[in-house]
């Protein structure tokens, strides 16, 4: 049995952060119902590396965080759609939404309105800046939050200037924070018997992803400086050229740096490092950098990765995503799992699921990403609508 079996989640989210949140609940057993406007579905359905999938509203960007869900189309602006939503809320445990501003409140489904229907409902809102403060109603995407939060200024190098992190890390970090908040609220409800209102901010999530940097900045008033792949203090914590490519070395502690020098055959330097106080390591930055540079160019990145790892030194060849996916380490884990049904040409045979596994009841994919409105009739039947009523709802453009 998975942790959230028997839990129903209404997913009124789009793009990445919200759908990733509900995806994490789905792979843990929740019955997640993705609710989309029939005329304005999740925009990621049309984002894809294959135009054919985008045209079929089954884009690869959508697939990444929507497997395991059921999908219903619903026109919330219609009287009939409003009634359906009320019935869904009465049957649900969780509602997750990332509508901008008070758009959902205007449709009659804000927290106060939804909790009046179901007092046990966990109601989670995800927005760029949160529901309070002067920017509460301002729009945002991942890159906007990277810029606003200081993350972009802390990334890159002095020569290149502020550089955004390529993948939408803030979106996925926000989704993970929201999934944690919902999980905790469900546990809390088990004890209190009452629902909860959750306010998740992408900006707050960005700060959580930079916790150490934020703490340092609060302490001394100085923001982190962008230094790219070269640490300004520690020679063992940066990229180096090898015989055939880049190697990222992560020798952070004195012991790791000592092990690195020993693996390079520099026994005397290795012992000197062990005898040096941590705060004085940076004094030998140039000396250590020259030694490491000279040695690492003599072998390939793969050879050094293996040799240094065996010497208990964190290090990895700088890989592309496709190279990493093909490594046997990935095959040994459960993070990527088979897509339960490959429906169209170009749909990936595997999808990312979760970053952890349990001894029993692990996260898993039980159903493929849904097509638009795929389960509308099925779900409406479950909440009491007859086949005749469903047909009438289609004629009325309510679904």
**283 and 357 share a domain?**
no
Q: Which residue has the tokens 């990222």?
A: 248
Considering 318, 341, 368, which residue would you say is the last residue of a domain? Answer: 318
386 vs 343: CA distance, rounded Å: 29
**313 and 354 share a domain?**
no
CATH, residue 250: 3.30.1540.10
| 390 has a pLDDT exceeding 90 | yes
Query: How crowded is residue 113: how many other Cβ atoms within 10 Å of its Cβ?
Result: 15
**52 and 198 share a domain?**
yes
DSSP of 171-220, one letter per residue? HHHHHHHHHHHHHHHHHHHHHH---EEEEEEHHHHHHHHTHHHHHHHHHH
**313 and 350 share a domain?**
no
**67 and 161 share a domain?**
yes
Domain count, the chain: 2
User: Which one of the listed residues 42, 93, 142, 171 is annotated catalytic?
Assistant: 171
96 vs 92: CA distance, rounded Å: 11
Q: Find the domain containing 90 and state its range.
A: 8-209+333-395
**261 and 310 share a domain?**
yes
Question: What does the pLDDT look like over 154-187, one tens digit per residue?
Answer: 999 878 899 999 999 999 999 999 999 999 999 9
**297 and 387 share a domain?**
no
Q: Mapping DSSP to helix (H, G, I), strand (E, B) and coil, where does residue 306 land?
A: helix
CATH, residue 190: 3.40.50.10540
**376 and 241 share a domain?**
no
Within a domain: residue 127? Answer: yes
**204 and 244 share a domain?**
no
- What pTM value is reported for the model? 0.95
2 vs 336: CA distance, rounded Å: 18
Within a domain: residue 3? Answer: no
Question: What does the pLDDT look like over 306-359, one tens digit per residue?
Answer: 999 999 999 999 999 999 999 999 999 999 999 999 999 999 999 999 999 999
Which of these, 91, 121, 113, 122, lies nearest to 381 by C-alpha position?
91
369 vs 60: CA distance, rounded Å: 10
| 100 has a pLDDT exceeding 90 | no
Report residue 124: phi and psi, to 5°: -120, 125
Task: Specify whether 322 is catalytic.
Answer: no
Report the run of H or E that residue 317 belongs to, with start and end: strand 315-317
**307 and 283 share a domain?**
yes
């Amino acid at each position: 049995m998975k942790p959230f079996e028997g839990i129903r989640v209404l997913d009124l989210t789009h793009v990445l952060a919200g759908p990733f949140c509900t995806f994490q609940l789905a792979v843990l057993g929740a019955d997640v119902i993705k609710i989309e406007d029939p005329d304005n579905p999740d925009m990621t359905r049309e984002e894809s590396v294959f135009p054919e999938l985008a045209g079929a509203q089954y884009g690869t960007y959508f697939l990444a965080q929507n497997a395991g869900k059921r999908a219903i189309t619903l026109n919330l602006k219609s009287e009939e759609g409003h009634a359906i939503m009320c019935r869904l809320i009465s049957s649900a445990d969780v509602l997750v939404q990332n509508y901008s501003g008070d758009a959902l409140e205007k449709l009659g489904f804000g927290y106060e309105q939804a909790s009046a229907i179901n007092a046990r409902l966990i109601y989670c809102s995800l927005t760029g800046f949160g529901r309070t403060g002067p920017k509460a109603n301002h729009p945002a995407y991942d890159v906007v939050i990277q810029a606003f939060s200081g993350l972009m200024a802390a990334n890159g190098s002095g020569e290149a200037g502020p550089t955004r992190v390529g993948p939408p890390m803030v979106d996925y970090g926000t989704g993970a924070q929201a999934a944690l908040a919902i999980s905790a609220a469900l546990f809390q409800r088990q004890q209190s018997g009452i629902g909860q209102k959750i306010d998740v901010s992408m900006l707050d999530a960005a700060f959580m992803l930079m916790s150490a940097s934020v703490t340092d900045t609060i302490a001394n008033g100085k923001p982190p400086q962008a230094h790219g792949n070269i640490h300004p203090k520690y020679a063992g914590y940066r990229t180096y050229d090898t015989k055939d490519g880049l190697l990222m070395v992560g020798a952070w502690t004195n012991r790791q740096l000592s092990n690195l020098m020993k693996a390079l055959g520099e026994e005397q330097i290795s012992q000197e490092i062990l005898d040096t106080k941590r705060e004085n390591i940076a004094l030998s930055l140039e000396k250590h950098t020259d030694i490491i540079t000279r040695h690492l160019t003599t072998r390939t990145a793969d050879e050094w990765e293996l040799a240094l790892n065996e010497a208990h030194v964190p290090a990895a060849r700088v890989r592309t995503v496709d190279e990493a996916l093909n490594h046997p380490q990935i095959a040994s884990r459960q993070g990527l799992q088979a897509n339960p049904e490959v429906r169209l040409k170009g749909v990936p045979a595997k999808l990312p699921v979760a970053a952890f596994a349990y001894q029993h009841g692990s996260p898993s994919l039980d159903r493929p990403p849904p097509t638009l409105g795929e389960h509308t009739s099925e779900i409406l039947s479950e909440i009491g609508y007859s086949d005749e009523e469903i047909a009438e709802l289609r004629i009325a453009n309510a679904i």
